[in-house]
Structure 1
């Protein structure tokens, strides 16, 4: 079950969840898009 949920958790952690160290933005917001 953990393995099945890992992609969902990873996406939420990197694209949805705000991080304090990044000014309450998700890590993916730091990507340049290129």
Structure 2
């Protein structure tokens, strides 16, 4: 069950959840587009 939910959690963690170390932005906001 955990393995099935890992992609959902990882997406939330990297794209939705604000991180205080990044100024309340998600980690994915630091990625360069291109």
The alignment's TM-score, normalised by the length of structure 2, stands at 0.95
RMSD after superposition: 0.4
Runs (4 or more) in structure 1 with deviation over 4 Å come to: none
Where do 5+ consecutive residues of structure 2 fail to align? none
Number of aligned residues:
34
Where do 5+ consecutive residues of structure 1 fail to align? none
The alignment's TM-score, normalised by the length of structure 1, stands at 0.95
